[in-house]
Structure 1
């Protein structure tokens, strides 16, 4: 019978779909896989463009109940909301109201197909956005205004914090804060004010977000490194020479084949 290889599942939108790519010499997914190599499989279920309603609709096509010999989810990352936070407009249909977004997130992390695995759930806030740059791109693509607004997106990140706080045992990964903290630290002279962030037209300054969010939304390799640094301490790790936890034994102790 096949062994039930445990899984680390990345469930979300394009921010996870692109985590498989090598950007600026770094791949989030590969770095995570290296950390758990031979113990767990990292499974990418990033679905570009999806909001939480779409994710919920297809959840039973993504997750299955644990079975004898089948894979079991050890860790589940959930990163959704960048599309839910879109402005409702005729040229973009991704918007999900904030209350519905919170309801959807709750349904996802408490879904029977997920809780049956009893995974450690890591709920990730959507990263900040560079509305200044997004506005320029969206107008060029034919939208009448920016599809995403910095202040609106910030409320969706806060909603993730709220949902995590309401569910003991859920780990909050505040990617929004982690990226913005680095952006501020690397933007000389910028003094953050309440409700006015880098990338917000009210501040008039993109600052170092330009390097972390090249298209205003998706992350650069450096931003994915920030993400990895934020999560690696929440995932098991072993000394480089350790063989502890291998799903299959090291070759030196595995049964010998006859010559």
Structure 2
């Protein structure tokens, strides 16, 4: 039976699908795979345009129940909501009402196929902020009557992720990508003071894009810098069991280091020879 590697599965929409891309010399998925190389396989299950209803429907097609020779789901990252948060428009039908979004997330993190794997941790990731002004420009150009998403409305979906994660403290951990990106944008936007209680960066009501324009080039999808921020959030959360071990000990390797790797029986006499 072939040796299977335990898996980190990235499950979500275009923000996950895009994690594999190498942009400006950085790939989120490649960085994560490098971190866990020879210990875990990083699997991308990102589907552009999907909402939580789509994700729930296809989940049984993506995750096999545990079984002999099948890879174990060790960590699951879920990033969904950017499409659920679409506002109702005649030209867009991706939106899912907030209460149904929360119910769908609950069903994903408690799905029998997922829980049967007894993953070390499920990570719920908040959808990023929006640059509503930039997004509206592109939406109008694409034939919509207005923006398909609104900053305040989308922020409510990120808050819902926080709530669902808090409901499952033993199995689910929050990764607050929304906060990390917004904090970075605020810190790099001179003169913007969120303590004054006005609209957030990216909110059309306030009219200030600030540094979000660098993190969200089209108003929705993340730049290389944003993916680096995302990676820095999750890197400490994976592989704690070997984080403080000596590299030469190869703790957690699925197959042994070359120094102790098995040889073919017919070549065993060659071990240790200076050829």
TM-score for both structures, normalised by structure 2: 0.92
C-alpha contact (below 8 Å) 2:198/2:206 kept by paired residues? no
Query: Which of these two proteins has the greater Rg computed from alpha carbons?
Result: 2
Give 5+ residue unaligned stretches, structure 1.
Answer: none
Q: Does 1:109 align with 2:119?
A: no
- After superposition, the Cα gap between the structure-2 partners of 1:146 and 1:113, relative to the gap in structure 1 and judged at 3 Å, is same
Does the 8 A contact of 1:24 with 1:220 survive in 2?
no
User: What is the deviation of 1:3?
Assistant: 1.8
- 5+ residue gaps, structure 2: 271-275
Q: Which residue of structure 2 aligns with residue 200 of structure 1?
A: 203
Larger mean CA deviation between 189-198 and 142-151 belongs to 189-198
> What RMSD, in angstroms, separates the aligned Cα atoms of the two structures?
1.1
Other structure's SS at 2:235 match: helix
2:273 match:
none
Question: What SS does the aligned partner of 2:137 have?
Answer: helix
TM-score of the aligned structures, taking structure 1 as reference length: 0.97
Tell me the residue number matched to 1:177. 179
Q: Report Cα offsets for 1:100-135 as digits up to 9, x if no partner.
A: 000000000100010011111000000001001011
Instruction: Please state whether the residue corresponding to 1:205 is helix, strand or coil.
Output: coil
Deviations 1:189-219 (A, max 9, x none): 0011446111111221111001000000000
Structure 2 residue aligned with 1:69? 69
Counterpart position of 2:250: 243
Deviation of the 1:221 alpha carbon: 0.5
| Distance in 2 between residues matched to 1:59 and 1:194, nearest whole Å | 41
1:4 to partner: Cα distance: 2.9
Matched residue, 1:21:
21
Q: Secondary structure at the match of 2:2?
A: coil
2:178 is paired with a residue of what secondary structure?
helix
